[in-house]
Amino acid sequence: MSKKKISVSVSSKIFFGINELDPFAPISGADLARLLDVGRSTISRGVNNGIIIREKNGLFIPAKNARYFSMRHVSNLGRLSDEQMNAYAVFLEKIKSGPQGPTATSTPPASEPRPYSPGELSPGAVYEIGTLGKKLFIPLVRLFTGEHSTDGIELQTLSPKITLSIDAAGNLSGIFADEKRIADLFFREVTE
């Protein structure tokens, strides 16, 4: 009798409440665990392994842990609702715009995402490549183009759970999250 492997996708509680969160305000470890839908022991192990940054006062600043948020996002990609995807994208935009206040300086707005095509990349530029969640862009990879076409490209994944596919011409041809190909890729130029 052969056994058949069945895969079941269970919805995740990750990112619920993230809309009200100020990414620059400190939160407790319990709040961070609840927000990321993990146990407190996972947060402790992350701190001990240097993956999660804890402040000297024992609290956590979500913006300083954006990389870990990205890792959790990618590992839950197949289980996230549109609402969760949008909440995460808004959270990233809050981080990019910086702390709000009288002395805060905002970064210039990012360009609108367009469908990804390697031929549309300009030399000497930085791009984010990712997917859309209800029209909000979610970056997965940062791509740096050289000044000359012979310089090639440099890729930086924004999560360790991302796998990249490169074609024979040296162009990014696909992004995989947990072995699932992300169907529609979009890109935008980063202005820093």
Residue 76 domain flag:
yes
**Tens digit of each residue's pLDDT (9 = 90 or more) over 80-112:** 788 888 888 888 888 888 886 543 444 455 678
Report the chain's mean pLDDT, rounded to a whole number.
80
Asked whether residue 92 falls in the same domain as residue 22, the answer is yes
Higher pLDDT among residues 44 and 57, named by residue: 44
Residue 123 domain flag:
yes
- Residue 118's alpha-carbon distances to 136, 144, 183, 188, in angstroms, are 21, 12, 16, 12
Asked whether residue 28 falls in the same domain as residue 89, the answer is yes
Residue 85 domain flag:
yes
Tell me the residue range of the domain where 123 lies. Answer: 114-189
Q: What is the DSSP string of 85-106?
A: HHHHHHHHHHHHH---STT--P
Q: Which segment of 22-31, 87-96, 178-187 scores lowest on mean pLDDT?
A: 87-96
Asked whether residue 139 falls in the same domain as residue 172, the answer is yes
Asked whether residue 50 falls in the same domain as residue 87, the answer is yes
SS3 3: coil
The pLDDT score that the predictor gives to residue 106 is 41
Q: Which of 36, 70, 97 is the last residue of a domain?
A: 97
Q: Which of 51, 68, 97 is the last residue of a domain?
A: 97
Give the burial class of 120: count Cβ atoms within 10 A of its Cβ; 0-12 exposed, 13-18 middle, 19 or more buried: exposed
**Tens digit of each residue's pLDDT (9 = 90 or more) over 45-77:** 888 888 898 888 778 899 898 888 888 878 777
Residue 183 domain flag:
yes
The model carries a pTM of: 0.51
The pLDDT score that the predictor gives to residue 41 is 87
Asked whether residue 60 falls in the same domain as residue 125, the answer is no
Instruction: Report the Cα 31 to chain-centroid distance in Å.
Output: 20
Q: Is the pLDDT of residue 192 over 70?
A: no
Residue 90 domain flag:
yes
Asked whether residue 88 falls in the same domain as residue 118, the answer is no
* Alpha-carbon gap, residue 145 to 170, rounded angstroms: 12
Please state the domain count of the chain.
2
The pLDDT score that the predictor gives to residue 187 is 92
Q: Which segment of 10-24, 91-105, 152-166 scores lowest on mean pLDDT?
A: 91-105
Residue 10 domain flag:
no
Asked whether residue 121 falls in the same domain as residue 90, the answer is no
Which pLDDT band, with edges at 50, 70 and 90, does 115 fall under?
Answer: very high
Q: Which of 37, 72, 97 is the last residue of a domain?
A: 97
